[in-house]
Chains A and B, each alone.
Chain A
Amino acid sequence: MSEITLDTLKPGDLARITKMRVKGPARRKLFDMGMVAGSEIELVRTAPLGDPIEFQIKGYHLSIRKEEASQIFVQKIE
């Protein structure tokens, strides 16, 4: 299975995080929020203007911008 980034998912797509490559202070924050390797994540919706994106992870909803999402690698779960 090929690795893709989080921002390329479509609403309703389910995936598993493989690698979190965000740098800087946001990195820690994202870990704390549950964006660790192995977590299942689902893209819920995109904001009306195309950014940020809302995900469901660890049983709650989290929104982040595309910029960060594009540095988080996932494997799609069919």
Chain B
Amino acid sequence: MENTKIRVALAGNPNVGKTTLFNAITGSRQHVGNWPGVTVEKKTGIRSYRGYDIEVTDLPGTYSLTAYSLDEIVARDYIIEEKPDIVIQIIDASNLERNLYLTTQLMELETEMIIALNMCDLALERGDKLYIDRMQEILAAPIVQTVASRDIGINELLDRVIEQKYNDKYHGREIGYGDIIESKVLEIEKILLTDPELSKRYPLRWMSIKLLEGDRNVRTKVGKSHVSAAINELLASIDQEEYEADIADKRYVAINAIFPQMCTRCNVRMTKSDMIDRVLTNKYLGIPIFLALMWGAFELTFAFATPFTDMIERIFLWLAVNVTSRLEPEWLASLIGDGIIGGVGAVLTFVPNIFILFFLLSLLEGSGYLARAAFIMDRLMYKIGMHGKSFIPLLMGFGCNVPAIMATRSIEDEKDRLITILVVPFVSCGARLPIYILLAGAFFGRQAGTVVFFMYVLGIVVAVISAKLLRSTIVKGKPAPFIMEMPPYRVPTLRTSIVHMWDNGAMYIKKAGTLILIGVVIIWLLASFPWGIEYGSEESYVGMMGHFFAPLLEPLGFDWKMTVALVFGLVAKEIVVASMGVLYGAGDSPEALTASLLADPAVTALSALSLMVFSLLYMPCVATLGVIKKETGSWKWTAFALAYGIAVAWIMAFFVYQGGKLLGY
């Protein structure tokens, strides 16, 4: 027998635990973090429960059904247009008053609703008294208490979902807006009623209220109807700003009237969080602490990983020596030794760094510090023409640029968002890290750490200067107002951090085993042919290719092997290291890549530095370009990102190399 399907949407304010609940219900591992705006796309999962297939959709958070940013539009459109059977509003029990504001609007949609009162642990811990029965009566919707982060209340919630499916129409109670507004609502409803199409699709009362509020989206919906002239005339005759203020006001008045019956002793301050903030956002300490945290995270990424990377390097060396020397025929030994172990191995060596990097980023996201970073940095960001919120994608970019660019969806203003998308690729992602460790480690000895840190700083500096440039040339204007909720600090859950680290680490390994492997085999083939040449020599196809591009890159100090590495690195930056592994690792006695690099007279400390700078900046990888296209919706901007990156990289590397030579290095 076919299971009955129930479509459920998870709606609610940002950062109330929707995704945590979604993961708990469906067993998924979607990204969770303690700042508003983590989820920017809808995600669907299915849970079979008591003979039902419950299709759950996790939505981005929204404060109101009038949407401002792209992620909010996704949420609103889903609720209004896709008409799920049941909407579960997740409410943060420790932040009831503001969460109810969305409830008042959801009720006007006249869909079946269940309320999941999440974060009950926090509310109870600080001594709130919640009156669930009373709340249920007032809101006329079933209420389930949950602690999503500890899987509490999930089954009860699913039971309610099934019950609700068979309930007779059981609407929540809508609030009243007072004589003046209500009489206008009636007038508009009457006009709308003459269009049966509209009245079939959307609740009329909701539409009327939204029109009075000046909701542009509803206005376009009506704009296509024959009633639009009458509506426009009516709306032109009123002072919209007054109505807008009045409606919001009436909603909060209604909440004020019911709120004290649902909860007493609420609104106690989060004292622990306040104490932490007194230090972390302190007038004098705030910025030094931020810098110290960044430096600390950077140090940990390397220091912690070193013993592990050394070990992995030794394993590959051992493999190269012992396995390949016994392999026959010779070409197979070369493919496995020079190609796969040399190339893929070079990438895999840095897996520990990637794991630590993502673990630390997850701690940053889970603690609530990201919102503080935006708060601390907004002033500086504003000066360079960026929005404080843009700081969050920039920091996320240290992991991977792709989700960082997606995260810009929660930036309301189009121009603020465009600038952020265009500069995120300069933030040094995890895939670039192996290049620095390899080259800095080989050529800069004890200064290696400083050199790598300099690369990270350079990425940020270039991003910032580019933003300033864009603001004063192509994307003119001022950053939009900064309006941001500051969530209380939370102890990041170990489970979330480990999942985040593992999923991203696994992705890196998988990429090494697929895309990078293919790239490596191609490079090896090109390095081995035509027949009869010496492997990896200038007569090989890669050699020819390198020489073809070399004139362009010669002023930057790159020999043909580096040139080849950079060309293949266009696909994914890990390939830069992989192809160096393939090309430099070649030789009779397999030795560590570091040693072969040092032995090669064409590679000097200066050209290595220049190569690092160039790899950092030269181009967003293919995946990043794809997401830039998707998020800007424009080939023009995608091409711009590509061309601009290459130009900046060339100029910077030129200055580093030629400047260094002038200084006598």
Contact = CB atoms under 8 A, between A and B. Distances in A.
B481 to A, nearest CB: 4
B380 A49 contact: yes
Nearest to B100: A58
A33 B482 contact: no
Contacts of B380: 49
A37 B242 CA distance: 12
Interface in B281-304: 281-287
A29 B95 contact: no
A61 B287 CA distance: 20
Interface stretch (B61-69, B419-427, B621-629): B61-69
Given A20-B245, A28-B244, A45-B277, A34 B376 contact: no
A65 interface: yes
Given A34-B252, A48-B283, A63 B63 contact: no
Contacts of B244: 27-28, 31
A3 interface: no
B97 A32 contact: no
Interface string A12-37: 00000000101011111111111011
Contacts of A65: 378, 382, 481-482
B464 to A, nearest CB: 15
B274 to A, nearest CB: 8
Nearest to A46: B283
Contact of A47 (B97, B376, B412): B376
Contacts of B98: 33-34, 58-60
A68 B481 contact: yes
B238 interface: no
A59 to B, nearest CB: 4
Interface in A37-78: 37-39, 44-52, 54, 56, 58-65, 67-68
A60 B281 contact: no
A38 to B, nearest CB: 7
B101 A34 contact: yes
Nearest to A26: B481
B258 interface: no
B245 A36 contact: yes
B486 interface: yes
Contact of A25 (B95, B378, B480, B488): B480
B376 A48 contact: yes
Interface in B221-244: 241, 244
Contact of A26 (B66, B101, B483): B483
B269 interface: yes
Contact of A52 (B267, B375, B487): B375
Contacts of A64: 481-484
Contacts of B382: 51, 65
A50 B245 CA distance: 29
Contacts of A38: 249, 252-253
A32 B72 CA distance: 13
Given A32-B64, A34-B252, A49-B379, A61 B482 contact: no
Given A31-B244, A52-B375, A36 B482 contact: no
A42 B109 CA distance: 34
A38 B211 CA distance: 25
A51 B480 CA distance: 14
Contacts of A56: 269
B553 interface: no
Residue among A32, A46, A64 with most chain B CB within 10 A = A32
A36 B95 contact: no
Contacts of A31: 244-245, 248-249
Contact of B412 (A25, A49, A58, A63): A25
B375 to A, nearest CB: 5
Contacts of B245: 20, 31, 36-37
Contacts of B249: 31, 36-38
A18 to B, nearest CB: 12
A69 to B, nearest CB: 10
A48 B97 contact: no
A36 B480 contact: no
A24 to B, nearest CB: 8
The residue in B252, B286, B412 that gathers the most chain A C-beta atoms within 10 A of its C-beta is B252
A39 B252 CA distance: 9
Nearest to A39: B252
B569 interface: no
A63 B486 contact: yes
A56 B98 CA distance: 12
B68 A63 contact: no
Greatest chain A CB density within 10 A among B248, B379, B480, B487 is at B248
B486 A25 contact: no
Contacts of A58: 97-98, 252
Q: Which 4 A-B pairs have the closest CB atoms?
A: A48-B286, A31-B248, A49-B379, A61-B486
Interface of B: 63-64, 66, 68, 94-98, 101, 213-214, 241, 244-245, 248-249, 252-253, 266-267, 269, 274, 277-278, 281-287, 375-376, 378-380, 382, 388, 412, 480-488
Interface of A: 20, 22, 24-34, 36-39, 44-52, 54, 56, 58-65, 67-68
22 contacts: A25-B412, A28-B64, A31-B244, A33-B63, A33-B485, A34-B98, A36-B248, A36-B252, A47-B375, A47-B376, A48-B282, A48-B284, A49-B379, A49-B380, A52-B378, A58-B97, A58-B252, A59-B97, A59-B98, A59-B266, A61-B486, A67-B481
